[in-house]
Amino acid sequence: MSSSILFACFLGSLPLVLSSDWGYLPENGPVVWGQHYPTCNEFAQSPLDLDLFTAEPSYGAGELKTIGYRTLHNATVNQNGHTFTVSFKNVPEDEHPMIHGGSLPPGEKFSFVTLHLHWGSDSSRGSEHRLTGYEFPAEIHLVHWNTKYPDFPSAAQESDGLAVAGFFLQVSNQTNVNYAPVIDGLLKLAGHPDHFDVDIGHLSLHSLLTTKGAADHLHYKGSLTTPPCTENVFWNVFLDPINISEEQLIKIRSLRDGHNQPLR
């Protein structure tokens, strides 16, 4: 992969899914994505195995900062045939949650557009990135677009257009009550077509990401992890995992795609 991985330590925080029938089975999985999306065969592709032993310290990047992550917004959950997404609705332009600083281009802000989850068929697998060879049961991605461009679709076409904050999920003996509205919404999606919105009440991004300890993370320049695999993503993958119960993961694994096959 073309970009070096940098380790940022601070003590003080979508996939572009198209309508085509790509997936994760042998006949439509990552091995064949490049046949239809040539960028998927390029050399700055995500995800990576993030090696803590070879990552270089990044002392000069500064802290990755958030704006509006604690603000409550009306949220909806939606299934798109590949994963589920959580989005905010009716948010004024100047009130969208944002990230800035850290390894992002100086002076530029990235606005939140949606979050989604990647998971596996069981808790031995599921995360897209690996951490020094270890695979977590799931990984959450918060997708942002560079506000120097007029809108998300425009930014998604630019080399510096997107930034994703990634967090690993690990199995805990306790239910993560902050995820209850999301999972309850997912259960209501059952039997509905893809792209059907379910209201899940007021939600803040911070409530889904609360972790203990330092906000240590790895950052690098990579790509979308699904077609069209464009290499225009500033990745920030946090090391402190989010706890979630096995029961909650089982409910997530109950989601099915348009062919009535389990999403995973």
Beta pairing partners, 131: 50, 134
**Three-class secondary structure of residue 201 per DSSP:** strand
Nearest to 203 by CA among 225, 183, 223, 230: 183
Give the count of beta carbons closer than 10 Å to the beta carbon of residue 258.
12
Taking the C-alpha atoms of residue 141 and residue 134, their distance in angstroms, rounded to an integer, is 18
Question: Residues 256, 38, 43, CA angle at the centre, nearest 5°?
Answer: 100
| DSSP per-residue string spanning 212-237 | SS---EEEEEE--SSTT--S-EEEEE
Beta pairing partners, 84: 79
Active-site residue, from 82, 100, 144, 219: 82
Our answer to whether residue 206 is catalytic in this structure is no
Residues designated catalytic:
82, 149
